[in-house]
Amino acid sequence: MAKNTPINPPAVTGAGRRELPAYVSNGLIGLRVRDVPLTTGMTLLSGYSGEHYERQIEAAAVAPYPIAGDIALDGAWLSDKSHQISDLQQAYDFSAGELTSRFTFQAEGVSAQVEVLTFCSRVDPTLVCQEVSITVDKGCSLGLRAIVDASGADGRALRHSRVTPGEPEPSTDGALLWESAGGLSTCGVAFVSQVLGVGDQQPTRPPLRDQRLVTEYGFRARAGRKVRLRQIASLIPSALHTLPDQQAARLAAKAANDGFDKIRQQNRAAWDELWKGRIRLEGAEDRWQSLADAAFFYLNSSVHASSPASTSIFGLATWHDYHYYFGHVMWDIEAFAVPALCMLQPEAARALLDYRSSRLDAARQNARLMGRRGIQFPWESAPTSGQEAAPLPGTAAWHEDHVSLDVARAFSLYADATGDREFLRTRAWPVLAGVSEWITTRVSKTGRGYAINESMGIAERENPVDNAAFTNMGAVVVLRDAVRVAADLNLSADPEWTRIADGMALPMRGKAVISHEAYRVDEEKGATPDPLMGLFPFGYRLDPAEEKATLEFYLGMAQDYIGSPMLSALYGAWAARLNDRRLALKLLDEGYGQFCTGRFLQTLEYRADRFPEQPQAGPFFANIGGFLTALLFGFTGLRAGPDAPDAWVERECVLPEGWTSIEVDRLWICGQAMRLVARQGETARLIPL
């Protein structure tokens, strides 16, 4: 195996039962592909939202499924005879983002071997491609259908077309304009199809019926001769075009002209480029390398430079039994996903931040609604408007102040990691200045210094607390970033920013930072290690004795928290800060490794053995991003900053027990390709290429 070829997850056989279906995405489009891939799955489209059927809030909306299909053997359709499907197999090729499904369909005395290839193009991000190959064991009448299925999407069809206006022949199989529930947005889908292996075939294309556009082929098939049905669909949200069905028709027609093979080849080349950033764990068991490859794949496949609405905590994945984050954009993306993406796929990291930049007015209005100045980012940001969209009554949104700090910190981190001076001036500075102004209206002056009262930390408790440690630590980091950037750009910084940063009170118990004032170990969610998140990856600096005491205090309670979402993945890196390699490996397994289960190593939100009552929901990007951030920054001792990359080394590498090095052949740092070599006990090296 080439060193930058990922380890693919094990192929699976049979129906998925309670396991999540395969997730196929390119960051603009996300599909749940069932074990029988011709059956309609679920689609999410970045920037496409509607009114939630129960909560009546803006939420990511299920879009029409673009690549459904059907097969008939002597008139017996697979969709009517699903009990006659056998030998189900699926395999995922992470190196190319391709899912291959195989099954046998038997009807009317004929047996058909079926293979289905599915992928979303990274080069042409509006395109979903599927090839269905069928081989029958005896001659028969073979029917094939390519289907765009909107029957599972809330909303309504505004129009559809099966012709190309003004042209004698249609350039696509058809186009559909679909409006979401509540009329909050629209999306367009257009598709083309082609049958190979039986000569020229003219399909039938009836009008929209039962919320489905169907192209149907029928012909005689010969025994042993492979027939292929290819379909390519373009999906576009109104966030990217005001007439998305027409633009989808243009791009679907272009795809037909380019051809399936060219699109596939270009997609594979794009993944080859991404995999140059593969994080190799030398000396680690193969299991750890496979988990790192899966994390890399799912994170990178769920973001794209073309995305108009960031991504959600599950990327563009959804399923029937988990919807409770509603596709909203939340702090987890900036806190956990952006750090790794800054070096792995900076164009996509920029798109995530552009979503926040383009909705600053909504954040300013949100601050005003709370009686404050500056910028206060919403707790659950609506994909289209960027406004607060938390389910009513919105209790978390009342006190979850740290979201603004997470977003601001991501902007300064991106500017440091990329060295993009224009971004620093035009994007990062407005956010840092606006959030810093908000901090001045959020703090209170006390005898101990500055305090943030009635706030909520990472643990979403029933009642707010005073001086939530992570919030206060985050405020200090952001204020100091803002002062530094102002000096760098020769701009004016409010002197109050420095006074607050220097005078911010932290709740302490001895030398250890504790979660908040009046903290008790036995309180609700008392083991939540939010002060450790303030240390890493947020970057608050404590003196060595205080850092050691804080780490020991919370690592001592790890078993009371680990298995919960978000922070569990960071325990291994925190143990490494105490130079305990054995504990680092143990906690990395308990805090991340045991979250990865089921078909194709999708990382779940909750560890199933510790929270069996929770739905299996994944891929969960706080856990994935935390793991990758630990690999790139936590164990390696790197801390991105405004200085040259050789100044990023903060301490020697401390790797989990048995690991000898973490190596990456290409990271993007300050606009330059660099190689990372981080060997146990040595200082990491960033080597320009």
- pLDDT one-digit tens code per residue, 184-195: 999 999 999 999
Class of domain 359-561: mainly alpha
Cα 307 to Cα 118, 383, 414, 548, distances in angstroms:
21, 11, 17, 41
Average pLDDT over residues 351-359: 98
Q: Which of 84-93, 118-127, 393-402 has the lowest mean pLDDT?
A: 393-402
CATH of 12-274, one of 3.40.50.300, 3.40.190.100, 2.70.98.40, 3.40.50.10490: 2.70.98.40
Strand order in the sheet with 65-73: 76-77, 65-73, 140-149, 212-221
Task: Give the residue among 535, 515, 538 at the shortest CA–CA distance from 525.
Answer: 515
Residue 422 — very low, low, confident or very high, per pLDDT cuts 50/70/90?
very high
Task: Give the residue among 137, 146, 139 at the shortest CA–CA distance from 74.
Answer: 139
Whole-number pLDDT of residue 461: 84
Residue-wise pLDDT tens digits, 505-558: 999 999 999 999 999 999 989 999 999 999 999 999 999 999 999 999 999 999
Share of the chain above pLDDT 70, in %: 99
Nearest-angstrom CA–CA distance, 276 and 267: 15
Residue 343 in this model has a pLDDT that exceeds 80: yes
Whole-number pLDDT of residue 322: 74
How many Cα atoms occupy the beta-carbon half-sphere of 410 within 13 Å?
31
Task: Give the residue among 523, 532, 635 at the shortest CA–CA distance from 579.
Answer: 635
Residue span(s) of the chain under CATH 2.70.98.40 come to 12-274
Whole-number pLDDT of residue 15: 79
Mapping DSSP to helix (H, G, I), strand (E, B) and coil, where does residue 40 land?
coil
Task: Give the residue among 377, 232, 279, 228 at the shortest CA–CA distance from 7.
Answer: 279
pTM, entire model: 0.97
Q: Please write down the long-range contacts of 418-423, taking CB distance under 8 Å and 24 or more positions apart.
A: 418/342, 418/346, 418/350, 418/668, 418/669, 418/670, 418/671, 419/669, 419/670, 419/671, 420/671, 423/350
Q: Which amino acid is at 587?
A: L
Residue-wise pLDDT tens digits, 81-114: 999 999 999 999 999 999 999 999 999 999 999 9
- Using omega within 30 degrees of 0 as the cis cutoff, is the peptide bond preceding 537 cis? yes
| End-to-end CA gap in the chain | 23
Angle at 250 between CA 246 and CA 252, to 5 degrees: 110
Residue 1 in this model has a pLDDT that exceeds 70: no
Which residues are 144's β-sheet partners?
Answer: 71, 217
The structure tokens 């029928």 sit at 218
